[in-house]
Structure 1
């Protein structure tokens, strides 16, 4: 996996919450409201794979309260790693078809990290779990100056980027989250396996 809020990226993000993207005022005004939930993934058996690397057994389930639960096993005898997230379709100019905003499901809105997933030509779902420190410096400065993001710190490696809601569109969400460099190979989830 390591897609749909990839296991390793999400675990790393949860441990270093400061480096992730979150939505401003998400408790009062959810960035993924219940009425906009999307369910593009097939439930049941799946695989989580590193590009050109190993795959792990996975399972996808819909949650009764909305969203998905993704379980992955790093071996036959291992306990599964579980992630829960919500998806909403992103639409608008310049946004590729089958691109979704992903948000981890957490009680604390400051821990609801944002990412994206998109359908690949091979049928898999590629996950992007962006972190602030990977923003290009020019994009970071532009986003801050334009009021698109805010931080509580000047140190890129220890900040949490809050996506501002004033004037927010799907195109802006896509521009912010896709501006992050993706270090290493992408993680891909293959549903319906």
Structure 2
């Protein structure tokens, strides 16, 4: 049997890494962070325990990469879904709604992710985070900002703040209010993206531009 080519080995490593990332999202969402062990992640992914440590230096870094991958895939699917967005304002609205929707659909996972960012390790820069940054930065470019390098970090901060406010234990803010504030900041009509049921707060067209 001839040895596998470098490209085949690379593809096998990519698939193995993605299985580990998917398993992390599933288990943390089901059990919480503390109850999820690296061994359980390896078992769910069908990988050796040592392989998890080979790809990721620790559980916290693994979780951030796993969540960033989920966010990247979710936002990209939202901005690329049919029908094709008519303009950049629709693209940005879809991206925002995708992030807010993830927070509501995966509260345990996203709350754990936000808490991890505030830990000593801080914000992990990994390939998954870079892909997420690319798709959000791309949304800003299509929206028409003149300086995406400075505007993207602001968008990231606003979205992180909105996710935190949605998930704050005991005092969460309503999605409708947070979405209205975000859309107003960027001059987006309420009907863009995926509007939540009930309409904008106060019955006004939040974000409507003249």
Shorter-normalised TM-score: what interval?
under 0.3
Higher relative contact order (CA 8 A, sep 6+): 1
Q: Which has the higher strand share?
A: 1
Q: Which has the higher helix share?
A: 2
Q: Which protein shows a greater Rg? A: 2
